Amino acid sequence: MSLPQTEPQPAPADSSAPKARIYAMLDTDGDGVASKHDYFVRIERARRATGRSQDDPLVVVALAAGERAWAAMDANGDGVMTYQEYVAWVDADKFDNICQYALGALFDLADADQDGALDRSEFTLLRQALGNPADNADAAFDALDSDGDERVGRAEYLASIRAYVTGEDSPMGDALY
C-alpha cells in the first residue's frame, strides 16, 4: 500500500523566523518541501567539498547519522517533510537527541586535521556546502570566534545552532541565515 503524496505548501508568512530560515535551507530544490533527496544532497555536497570518498569512515558516520535524523523527521515515512511537520517536530529535545549527531558528523567531515575545531576556510567550506553564501559563513565565523584565535570548536558550533533552532540568541545563526 502506498502512502499519500505530500503536496508542496507555500512558504511560511514570516520567512525571517529561525525555523523558516532553516527549513528553506533544507529545501535545497525550492519546491516547498524538504525531501529525503534534499536532505542527503547536503551531505553529498559536504562530502565532495571535503574531498572525501564514499567509503571514508567519516562519510559513513555522516550518512548513518543522516539516516537516523531523516527517519525521525519523516515520521509518516512519505519521503518529505513539510514546513508544518518540521515546526511541529523540531525542539531542544530533538536537537539534543538527534540533530546534534547529524550536524556534528558534518562538522567532523570539514575538520581536516580532526582536532575538534574548524579554521575559517574549513568553516566556510562546510557552510557553503550546506547552502549558506560565503559572506554569511564568514560573518558567522566571526560571530563564533569570540576569542579571536581563528578557530571554532565543535561544541560552540553545535551550541550556537541549537540556540538558533530553539529561539535563543545566536549571533552565528543570525549571520548564517
Q: Is the model more confident about 3 or about 128?
A: 128
Q: Please, is 8 exposed, middle or buried when counting C-beta atoms within 10 Å of its C-beta (0-12, 13-18, 19+)? A: middle
Q: Is 174:143 a contact under the CB 8 Å cutoff?
A: yes
Query: What percent of the chain shows pLDDT beyond 70?
Result: 91
DSSP string covering 23-72: HHHH-TT-SSSEEHHHHHHHHHHHHHHHT--TT-HHHHHHHHHHHHHHHH
Decide if pLDDT at 5 tops 70.
Answer: no
Q: Is the model more confident about 170 or about 142?
A: 142
Decide if pLDDT at 162 tops 80.
Answer: yes
Q: What is the mean pLDDT of the chain?
A: 88
Q: Is the model more confident about 110 or about 136?
A: 110
pLDDT at 133: 87
Structural domains in the chain, CATH included, are 19-24+31-176 (1.10.238.10)
* pLDDT average, residue stretch 124-131: 93
Decide if pLDDT at 48 tops 90.
Answer: yes
Q: What share of the chain is helix, strand, coil (3-state, %, to 5)?
A: 60, 5, 35
Confidence of residue 176 (pLDDT cuts 50, 70, 90): confident
